Amino acid sequence: QAVFQSDIGALMEQVGTGKESLSFMKRRIRRLAAQWASAARRLDDKLRNHWREQKRILVHVGFLTEESGDVFSPKVLKGGPLGEMVQWADILTALHVLGHNLKISFSLKELHGFLGVPPGRGSCPLTGPLPFDLIYTDYHGLQQMKQLMGLSLRKHKCHIRVIDTFGTEPAYNHEEYATLHGYRTNWGYWNLHGQQYMTMFPHTPDNSFMGFVAEELNETERLNIQKNKVKNMAVVYGKETNMWKGKEKFLAILHRHMEIHGTVYYEAQRPPEVPAFVKNHGLLPQQELQQLLRKAKLFIGFGFPYEGPAPLEAIANGCIFLQPKFNPPHSSLNHEFFRGKPTSREVSSQHPYAEQYIGRPHVITIDFNNSEEFDATIREIMRINVEPFLPYEYTCEGMLERLHAYIQNQDFCSPEAPFPPVNSSQTWLGSAPSPFNLLPNSRILTWASNASSFSSWPPLTALRVVASLESESCVKACQTAGLICEPALYRFINIRETFSALDFQCEGVESEKNHLFPAFSAEHAECSLQQDPLLFSCAGSSAKYRRLCPCRDFRNGQVALCKDCL
Ligand code: U2F
């Protein structure tokens, strides 16, 4: 049985010392310890009757190992990316607070030791059982584990979770399919289950959403923030000079109305190249950045970095986040930053989560090239009052709840209970003619057959089957129906009866490896089922197909979990 623990002493010791990245993470862990502890108490109350199994967990942070080049640590104090460190610090704290048996490695040597593989040249198969129930790592760590364990990695890979900021879609993850169909990248092709990849924001429902946390306010802090807001104070998002390059025009407009602050890293001899009217504080410790955000009215992004934690921190401290809309959206097809990343996702603004999940009045997304709209928006921002806001899924309690649910329910190791009860042509053999019901006045199916007789997480009660439009992905189709795509439920809808229940008349039914299947092609009245469960994918669309989509409901503020998921 896992027992919540609020003392972080043991965790701090395990993180060790000697690198700026580790010191940054430790400062964060210490600073948020009280917040985690009170969240743990609340979740403990909420989960009172739940048995939580204590797991043996290894966390191997590959990108911070010397062997992977560790380009991050030397830049911690110089304006380099910190988002990843924020997330790993929070993952470590959450696993520790949930009371699991945790081992942490930041080097190959430690990894060798924990896995019981003697250090030496070349790979060495792990002959005994894996001494862990779960391993959290990243793409670098995965590569290192492959070098270390050789082919025996295959046997154990169902225990692995890959922390993957921008996500990996099934078409890129499936080695053979990626190679044959042009989805091969430097990162993908590990043939994992899509939900073994865990992202920073809930942008790719094919993956699991791990997230991180932002600071929460108590009542006094909230009141003080309201009192002390400076209505003409703006902070620019961007700790490196190149994030400000070419933005002089916007800065000039902004400067007409507001006092502009920045936190751009600079060296004493060489102040950063930002306009003289900018009040630059230099890179601030996280805590001081929070103080600055508490006073500011506006936090403004100029397009980069993509999808970082800072906008959530700003919104949590009562700022309005103003950001550019990307038209056309940025993706691996048209932007250097995303090129070679195992995703086809189209990024619609600097921070799509802020745009889509939070929105006005906290987040305003506009075309920055329209100077009049830009100017009018700045003036509007100075007029309106907004309250600090933090979505539940980014609170400590929300992250603990989500991680708890994953740890206790996600299982990629046991062979899946034989489903569907179908014959070789994927025809339903249940007692009723079809396992589906049509929801009244809609084109949405629910599971009608006895849901509890099939073991599944999320449970089948959450399933809502929707057909996408042509050229529409299941991500979008579910979203339009007010739901979220749930790849774990694909196996229940990959049967002939789904087509008939949705009124698709099939001339023929075939089964193929294609990440868009199951789908219906109107032109040929052809119904296609998915042959390889690894290719079940919410992402992806084609003008030729209407896709069958397994959607589900979700909890308010916790999109990763369905209503019956806890
Ligand atoms: C993102 O990484 P970044 O580190 O660029 O993301 P930010 O949102 O800028 O900030 C990360 C943290 O840096 C902190 C701030 C955030 O929690 O509190 N910080 C600070 O301590 N002092 C300062 O003066 C300013 C900020 C993203 F997270 C990565 O995954 C991506 O790789 C990267 C590129 O898109 O963007």
pLDDT digits (tens, 9 = 90+) for 411-452: 999 877 656 667 777 888 877 788 999 999 999 999 988 777
**Residues with Cβ within 6 A of ligand 1?**
81-84, 86, 165, 200, 239, 263, 283-284, 286, 289, 305-310, 313
124 with 145: CB under 8 angstroms? no
Task: Give the C-alpha separation, 414 to 217, whole Å.
Answer: 42
CB 293 within 8 A of CB 235: yes
Show the tokens assigned to 298.
Answer: 């506006």
Contacts of residue 249, defined as CB under 8 A and 6 or more positions apart, other chains included, come to: 371
> What is the Å distance from ligand 1's center to 307 Cα?
9
- Note the pLDDT of residue 430: 79
Which atom number of ligand 1 is nearest to the Cα of residue 310? Answer: 8
Q: Measured from the CA of 237, which atom of ligand 1 is nearest?
A: 9
The CA distance from 240 to 292, in Å, is: 18
Nearest CA, atom 14, ligand 1: 286
Q: How far apart are CA 35 and CA 535, in angstroms?
A: 40
Sheet holding 101-105, edge to edge: 101-105, 56-60, 134-137, 160-163, 197-199, 208-209
Q: Mind listing the pLDDT tens digit for each residue in 107-136?
A: 999 999 999 887 665 667 777 889 999 999
Distinct helix (H) and strand (E) counts, the chain: 18, 21
Rounded distance from Cα 218 to ligand 1 centre (Å): 24
| d(CA 464, ligand 1 centre) in Å | 37
Q: Residue 545: is it exposed, middle or buried by C-beta count within 10 angstroms (0-12/13-18/19+)?
A: buried
Rg of the Cα trace of the chain? Answer: 24
Cα–Cα distance between 82 and 80 in angstroms, integer?
6
Decide the pairing of beta strands 320-330 and 298-301.
parallel
For atom 29 of ligand 1, which residue has the closest CA? 83
Q: What are the beta bridge partners of residue 101?
A: 56
Q: 25 CA distance to ligand 1 centroid (A)? A: 13
Backbone angles phi, psi at 299, to 5 degrees: -120, 120
Q: Are 396 and 354 in contact (CB under 8 A)?
A: no
Using an 8 Å Cβ cutoff, are 489 and 464 in contact?
A: no
**Around 538, how many Cα atoms within 13 Å sit in the side-chain half-sphere?**
29
* Residues composing the chain: 566
Q: What one-letter code names the amino acid at 276?
A: A
Q: What is the dihedral of CA 261, 395, 228, 274, to 10 degrees?
A: 0
**Which residue ranges in the chain fall short of pLDDT 70?**
119-123, 417-421
Ligand 1 nearest atom to the CA of residue 304, by list position: 35
- Ligand 1 center–CA 221 separation, angstroms: 23
Spacing of C-alpha 429 from chain mean position: 37
Residue closest by Cα to atom 30 of ligand 1: 83
Q: If you take atom 21 of ligand 1, which residue's CA is the nearest one?
A: 286
pTM above 0.90, yes or no: yes
Rounded distance from Cα 471 to ligand 1 centre (Å): 35
Query: Distance between CA 497 and CA 195 in Å, rounded?
Result: 26
Helix (H, G, I), strand (E, B) or coil at 559: coil
Specify the residue with its C-alpha closest to ligand 1, atom 34: 305
Cα torsion through 347, 172, 62, 153, rounded to 10 = 160
